[in-house]
Amino acid sequence: MPIPIARHRLMREMNEMAVMTVIRQHGPISRRHIAEITGLTKSTVTVAVQRLFSKHVLKELDSISTGPGRPERLLGLNSEAGYLLGSSIDATKCQVLLFDLQGKVLDHIAYDLKVGHAAQDTLKLVADAALVLLNKIPHEKYWGFGVSIPGIISAEGLVIHAPNLKWHDIAVGTFFNEWLPNPIYVVNDAQAGAIAEYYFGNALTSDLLLYLSLGMGIGGGVVMNGNLLIGAHGTGTEVGHMVISDNGPYCRCGRRGCFEAVASLRSLTERAMRAKDVVDWLKLDQIVSAFHNHEPWARQAVEETFYYLREGIVNLANIFDPDTIVLGGDLSRFGEDLRAQVEVPIESDIIIANNRNLTVRLTSLDDFTSALGAGAMALNTMVSARG
C-alpha cells in the first residue's frame, strides 16, 4: 500500500530534522557517517541533504579520503541561514535569547521579577526585549519566537494554570501575536528543556529522554524517538504533581505531598530556614555554599530534599523507562552531588535494573536551557515551510 501523502511528508520532514541535528552535533561530517548515526539509508540521507541544501541550511566543507574511491565531502551547518528568539519566564526572572541554528547564543536580555509581578507587565518586558533583539538580524533570516512558562498550556498558547506565577487563563500566544512576527510558540518550561537537550545538548541518540526542571516547582519533559510527548491534553508530563508523601506539606496546586511540594527549590529553602532558625528567605547560593562547607543546617536540608528527589525520580524511571535522564533547573547547581545521589538508587531500585542502560547527567546548557528549547520549536516549522 502506498504511503499516504501527509504521512510521507511528515516522514520526509522528520528525516531532514534528524540529518540537520546530526550535522549540528557532529559536523563536519560525511553523508555515510550521517547514515550510520541516524540509521537512515544512504539514499534517504542523500535526499534529505539535497533538500536542506535547497533551503541554504547546509554547506559543503573539505573532502576526506577513507580509502579507494572518491573522497567524501564533509557537511556543515550554515548557522547563519536563520536566527531564533527564545524566552523563558519563571517566578523570579525572565530572559530573551537571540541564537543561531547551531544553538550559539549571540545576545540576550534578562530581567529580575518581583514576586507577584503582573502577567501583562511581564509579557510586555519580554516583547520589548524580543523586538530589540529582532532588530539586530535581517528580517528574512528570522525563523521564529518561542517562550517557555512553568504551567499547563493549551495548543493555542493559553496559559491555563501556572501556580508558581499565579497565572490563570492568560492568552500569552495572542499577546505575542500582536507584537512579533510568526511563527510563535508557547511551551511548558520542562518540555522546552527536553527539546533543548535533544537538539543542542548530548541526547540526540536517546530513544527516550526524560528532562527534569528542578526549580521553584518541578516539571518534566519527555522526547521519545525525536518527538515531544505531551499527552492528550498537554499535561502528560506534569510530574511535579504526582504525590510522593500522603501527609506531606500542601502544594501550590492545593493537594498535599506533591513531588514539588517536598523536593523543589521552594521546599529546600523552607527546610533550610527551619534548620537554620531564620525568618529571612535564604538564597540558593547561600545554601549551596553552606552545603559544600558541611554546615549542619544545610546538610540536613539538602539531604532531606535529595531523599524526596530520589523517591520521585525512581518512580518516573519506572513509569517512562528512559535511557537518559537530564537534571536541569536551579537545583542542578548542586552538580555532581545531586547527580550521584540520584543515579545510585536508580541503579538499584528500578525494575529489572540489570537489563537497563540508563544514563543520568546534568544539563549542559545552564540557565539557557528552556529558552533555547522554546525558540527551537520553530526549527521544524521553518524546515517544513522552506521545502
In this predicted model, what pLDDT tens digit does every residue of 284-328 receive, in sequence order?
Answer: 999 999 999 999 999 999 999 999 999 999 999 999 999 999 999
Q: What is the sign, positive or negative, of the torsion defined by CA atoms of 246, 257, 222, 285? A: negative
Here the contacts of 333-339 (C-beta below 8 Å, separation 24 or greater) are 333/284, 333/288, 334/288, 334/291, 334/302, 335/362, 336/362, 337/291, 338/306, 338/309, 338/362
Handedness of CA 53, 223, 183, 12 (dihedral sign): positive
Per-residue pLDDT band for 369 (boundaries 50, 70, 90) equals very high
Range 224-227 contact pairs with CB under 8 angstroms and sequence separation of 24 or more: 226/14, 226/17, 226/18, 226/198
Residue 193 has pLDDT above 70, yes or no: yes
Instruction: Look at residue 97 in the predicted model and tell me its pLDDT.
Output: 98
Single-letter residue type at 347: E
The yes-or-no verdict on residue 8 having pLDDT over 70 is no
Average pLDDT over residues 228-234: 80
Q: For the chain, how many helices (H) and strands (E)?
A: 12, 15
- Quick check: 327 and 214 in contact, CB under 8 A? yes
List CB contacts of 183: < 8 A, sequence separation 6 or more. Answer: 144, 145, 378, 381, 382
What is the percentage of the chain residues whose pLDDT exceeds 70?
Answer: 93
More confident residue, 354 or 83: 83
Distance of CA 375 to the CA centre of its chain: 10
Listed in order, the ranges of the chain carrying CATH 3.30.420.40 are 82-195+369-385, 204-363
β-pairing, 152-153 with 83-89? unpaired
Q: Grid coordinates standing for 348?
A: 538499584
| pTM for this predicted structure | 0.88
Rounded to whole angstroms, what are the CA distances from 92 to 130, 145, 236, 382?
19, 21, 26, 32
CATH for the stretch 204-363? 3.30.420.40
Cell, residue 308 = 524526596
Residue ranges, CATH 1.10.10.10, the chain: 5-77
CATH second-level architecture of 82-195+369-385?
2-Layer Sandwich (3.30)
Question: Does the domain formed by 5-77 have CATH 1.10.10.10?
Answer: yes
Has residue 104 got a pLDDT over 80? Answer: yes
Q: Mean of the per-residue pLDDT values for the chain?
A: 89
**Percentage of the chain modeled with pLDDT above 90:** 64
pLDDT digits (tens, 9 = 90+) for 316-349: 999 999 999 999 999 999 999 999 988 877 777 7
